[in-house]
Amino acid sequence: MMINSVLFVCLGNICRSPTAEAIFREKARRRGLSVIADSAGTAGWHLGKAPYEPMQTTAAEFGYDLSPLRARQVVQKDFSNFDLIIAMDQQNLLDLKTLTLRANTAHLRLMGAYISAGSPPDIPDPYYTRDFVGALKIIEQAIGNMLSAQWPK
C-alpha cells in the first residue's frame, strides 16, 4: 500500500498529535521522504490555538518546533483526503469511527500498533499525566518504527 499522506489524531490537537506531526515531518525529511503530514483533534475545544505551552517547550528541547502549528478538528473530508489516519489512543479510534459517516478510503490505525502489534498501548495524554517528556519519547519511538514499516529503505 502506497502511503502519501498521514493525519495524526488525538483529543485536543494541542499535545500528542501536533508532537507526532512535527516528529514525523522531521524524520521523513531526514530520510528524503515527501509524505504530507497533518494533525487534528476529535474535539474542537482549542480551534486555532498553538500547541500547549509545556508541550512546545519539551518538544523544543528535543529539537522539534511546534510553534507554527494550529489546532483544528477532524472533518469528514479527512477520511478521503488522507491515506492513513493514526489515532493516539483507543478512545480517539472509537471517536473517529463514530465521526466517519460515509465509506472512506483512509486506513485507520492506532499509533500503539507501531510499538506492539499484539496489544497496542495507548499514547498517554500528557495534558493529564503531566509527563511531557515520556509522551514525546513514546511518540518518537512509534514514529521511528512507523517509518521503517511503511517506508522501508
**Which residues here bind ligand 4NP, judged by CB under 6 A?**
10-16, 45, 125, 127
Nearest approach, Cβ of residue 69 and ligand 4NP (Å): 11
Report residue 67 as a C-alpha cell.
Answer: 510553534
| 95 in catalytic set | no
Catalytic residue of the set 15, 16, 25, 38: 16
Catalytic residue of the set 83, 95, 125, 130: 125
Q: Which residues contact 138 (CB under 8 A, 6 or more apart)?
A: 115, 121, 123, 124
| 83 in catalytic set | no
Count of CB atoms situated within 10 Å of the CB of 96? 22
Catalytic residue of the set 10, 25, 38, 78: 10
Nearest approach, Cβ of residue 57 and ligand 4NP (Å): 15
**Closest CB to ligand 4NP among residues 113, 138:** 138
| 29 in catalytic set | no
Nearest approach, Cβ of residue 51 and ligand 4NP (Å): 8
d(CA 15, CA 22): 11
User: Which residue's C-alpha cell is 511518540?
Assistant: 139
Would you name the residues annotated as active-site residues? 10, 16, 125
